[in-house]
Structure 1
Amino acid sequence: MNNVNAGRPTPANLDTNSAKIINKLFEHAGIRLNGEQPWDMQIHDPAFFQKMFATWELGIGESYMDGDWDCEQLDEFFYRVTSHDLEQTVVGPAKIGFFLEILRQKFFNLQSRKRAFQVGEQHYDIGNDLFELMLDSSMMYSCAYWPKAENLEQAQLHKLDLICRKLELKPGERLLDIGCGWGGLARHAAQQHQVDVVGVTISKEQQKLARQRCAGLPVQIELTDYRQLTGQFDKIVSVGMFEHVGAKNYDEYFDVVARLLKPDGLFLLHSIGNYETEKKRDVWLDKYIFPNGHLPSAKEITYALEGKFLIQDWHNFGQDYDRTLMAWWDNFEKAWPTLQDKYGERFYRMWKYFILSSAGFFRSGQGQLWQLVLSKRGRKGLYRSVR
């Protein structure tokens, strides 16, 4: 066990108007400030209220990083918050921030070519040591597939096998992996299905390690934006990358895939989804974890696909992401003693907030995980869905 919470102040006095407003807001989700349930917030510093009223989710997240509050079961806290759509009840000056953020995302392309590498530099280049210790041996940083798995290692292997079977990979085919990460899927496909793979990433650290992990295999790992790609491929796959494309770029994204995919090819899109079209991005997540991200809704995807691809299969296993995230957290917590000198307590609290709030998001059902199998209209042969 680590001691990052040791020496925390005793709960703050909550006999204030601010505390009463927040308690009233949270009571719909069964949450109380300084309550006795493990999902209740324990407020250590009244500065929390000023931060929350000023910027809402940004203030809540930053005040957690600052140690203004704690929660024994952060994942359950966010499950309750997300399940009851408490963001819709935002009060105070944060309303102005909400409106401005909606306008920013409406009128600006936050995922343009010039901004494409920002998420790689800020998030995926944090440190390969962290991801090697947190993830499974394949280093898959996306939802695992748990129906017949007993642990994370098996669940990620089953996910890789599922993807390859859905793509109907055959020896000698050429596979494009858009957003290849640390090369886990590229290596698996090359080793188990004897295909040639071109993987692309926007992270220098991912490229470096992926090349090492795929050495000696017919795998090529490139540092490039998907819009720069050329050539023809029998199959195309994209796992956990579409979340960085942005709604303003969906048409171009699918146009690029259509241009690269052979007439009889298959394209598998693996992406987090939102059960409704989001008006704005979580500002804390945008600032500290995934800059310029956007979670697509089913409506946004189908609108962008119209006239470009047939949907051969649409598979949702979003509940599996909750279990995946909790497994990542368990690995991170166990590995923290070897990481803490490099990353520090504030990073620990940031990462804990990120992983466990994400688990609550998927547990609530607002977060989905979709795998779509797409083809061009003229593809020959009947496609049979795989599970």
Structure 2
Amino acid sequence: MARFRQYQQKLEHTYSGSGSSTATSLEPPGVLAKLAQQAGVTFNGDAPWDIQVHSDEVYQRILTQGSLGFGESYMDGLWDCLYLDQLFHRLLSINIEEKLAGWGRFHLMVQIMRHRLFNLQSSKRAFQVGEQHYDIGNDVFEAMLDPTMSYSCGYWYQAEDLQQAQINKLDMICRKLQLKPGEKLLEIGCGWGGLAHYAAKHYGVEVLGITISKQQQKLAQERCAGLPVEIALVDYRDLDGEYDKIVSVGMFEHVGEKNYPVYFDTVNRLMKSDGLFLLHTIGIYKTIHRVDPWIDKYIFPNGDLPSAEQISSVLNQRLIIEDWHNFGHDYYLTLMAWWKNFEASWPTISAQYDERFYRMWKYYLHSCAGFFKARQGQLWQIVLSKRNRADIYRSVR
């Protein structure tokens, strides 16, 4: 059985839609046409960011299910768009999800109540995102990512390609942490070991990297063989010990607001008094108590993007902010580079997946690219310390 069929079964969802029809001139309801027009988008128009509709079922799904219906109908082949990233940039620039909220109010309220009432990132749920997303197959990520296997935003200043942007990011993190040979570095959410490998090799530190993905652990161990690096399959709440420096790259998005206090208390407990902690995370431009339902269902279950307000509030009386660096636009460049790699590698890996997976992955990367280009999404690197740290911190770029 193909891997994506197994992946679909985990979702426990019966998909609707029977594929695309031959109709190409179906008219949208007036409300959708007007909203699209505000974004400079036309249904069945001639611009490369226009939506080409193959079935009028698309309109019903958008009006009744919002983002989830829009994404699932794309996966079902009911509409297409030449430049998906530009489409999402335009739609998100006018806050389309808020304008449609009245039509999909039931689904919106379910999302909000779900996040308010339940701890979706509890210890019992911690491994769900690993099983559903990161464990789909290392071949997908090896095809998409650069040789460092960095699944987070690159730093494109003075970089001409994805690999250099990721090396720039890795080195900048090490310099921001002021790593010194012999220090112990804890990496909360180590991915496939790219940063652990780089820090151990180039800065001479001893690294403990933790992940909630078995596939990530296996490959990270292979890639870091021969270096003073340990890769453990463990939740951050279960850690003990003391570390000179701590780093977390692209993992905080899975922590959840209810768990922010215990997360930073854990960092405080594990970090030496003169240590430094670097938090690399996606941020959102305003506080909202919900996530995109399509992303939640198909890509990052139980994810929760923080706002600057939420982070600064929980840091109050816990840790000192030494530096706050935003380079969110670089994520647009990173995502589009990932898509270019994925598309080029699709003929090689397609035997293990199917067309629905291809459309899902294309929608994922392009919608996120539009999210960052519209500046709803930010990318923050925040350097934190304890109040009793004696040394003066100098910002690094």
TM-score (normalised: structure 1): 0.96
Deviation, structure 1 residue 19: 2.8
Give the aligned partner of residue 3 of structure 1: none
CA displacement, residues 259-304 of structure 1 (integer Å, 9 cap, x when unaligned): 0000000000000000101231111100000000011000000011
Give the aligned partner of residue 341 of structure 2: 331
Give the aligned partner of residue 393 of structure 2: 383
Deviation, structure 1 residue 10: 4.2
Structure 2 gap ranges (5+): 1-18
Give the aligned partner of residue 294 of structure 2: 284
- Where 1:192 maps in the other structure, the secondary structure is helix
Contact 2:25 2:44 survives alignment (8 Å): no
Give the aligned partner of residue 246 of structure 1: 256
- 1:230 paired residue among 228, 240, 249: 240
Could you tell me how far apart the structure 2 residues matched to 1:344 and 1:96 are? 32
- 1:102 paired residue among 112, 117, 135: 112
- 2:135 paired residue among 116, 125, 129: 125
- Where 1:349 maps in the other structure, the secondary structure is helix
Give the aligned partner of residue 24 of structure 2: 12
Give the aligned partner of residue 34 of structure 2: 24
Give the aligned partner of residue 303 of structure 1: 313
Q: Does residue 79 of structure 1 match 2:89?
A: yes
- Structure 1 stretches of 4+ with a deviation exceeding 6 A read none
Could you tell me how far apart the structure 2 residues matched to 1:278 and 1:333 are? 33
Deviation, structure 1 residue 176: 0.1
Could you tell me how far apart the structure 2 residues matched to 1:279 and 1:79 are? 22
Give the aligned partner of residue 3 of structure 2: none
Q: Does residue 43 of structure 1 match 2:53?
A: yes
Could you tell me how far apart the structure 2 residues matched to 1:38 and 1:12 are? 15
Could you tell me how far apart the structure 2 residues matched to 1:25 and 1:84 are? 9
RMSD: 1.2
Could you tell me how far apart the structure 2 residues matched to 1:119 and 1:326 are? 23
Q: Does residue 162 of structure 1 match 2:172?
A: yes
Q: Does residue 201 of structure 1 match 2:207?
A: no
Contact 2:175 2:396 survives alignment (8 Å): yes
Structure 1 gap ranges (5+): 1-6
- Where 2:353 maps in the other structure, the secondary structure is helix
Give the aligned partner of residue 56 of structure 1: 66
Q: CA separation of 1:91/1:219 partners in 2, compared to 1, >3 Å: closer, same or farther?
A: closer
Deviation, structure 1 residue 100: 1.7
Deviation, structure 1 residue 12: 3.4
Deviation, structure 1 residue 49: 1.4
Could you tell me how far apart the structure 1 residues matched to 2:220 and 2:51 are? 41
Matched AA of 2:30:
K
Deviation, structure 1 residue 95: 1.0
Could you tell me how far apart the structure 1 residues matched to 2:311 and 2:149 are? 27
Matched AA of 2:62:
M
CA displacement, residues 43-80 of structure 1 (integer Å, 9 cap, x when unaligned): 00111112112211000000000000000000000001
Deviation, structure 1 residue 133: 1.0
- Where 1:51 maps in the other structure, the secondary structure is helix
Q: Does residue 353 of structure 1 match 2:340?
A: no
Contact 1:53 1:92 survives alignment (8 Å): no
Matched AA of 1:346:
R
Q: Does residue 171 of structure 1 match 2:169?
A: no
Q: CA separation of 1:225/1:377 partners in 2, compared to 1, >3 Å: closer, same or farther?
A: same
Matched AA of 1:291:
P
How many residues end up aligned between the 2 structures?
379
Deviation, structure 1 residue 21: 2.2
Deviation, structure 1 residue 25: 1.5
* Aligned counterparts, 1:177-188, within 5 A: 177-188=187-198
Contact 2:20 2:78 survives alignment (8 Å): no
Give the aligned partner of residue 14 of structure 2: none
Q: Does residue 371 of structure 1 match 2:384?
A: no
Give the aligned partner of residue 123 of structure 2: 113
- Where 2:262 maps in the other structure, the secondary structure is helix
- Where 1:22 maps in the other structure, the secondary structure is helix
- 2:158 paired residue among 148, 159, 173: 148
The share of aligned pairs that are identical, in percent, is 60
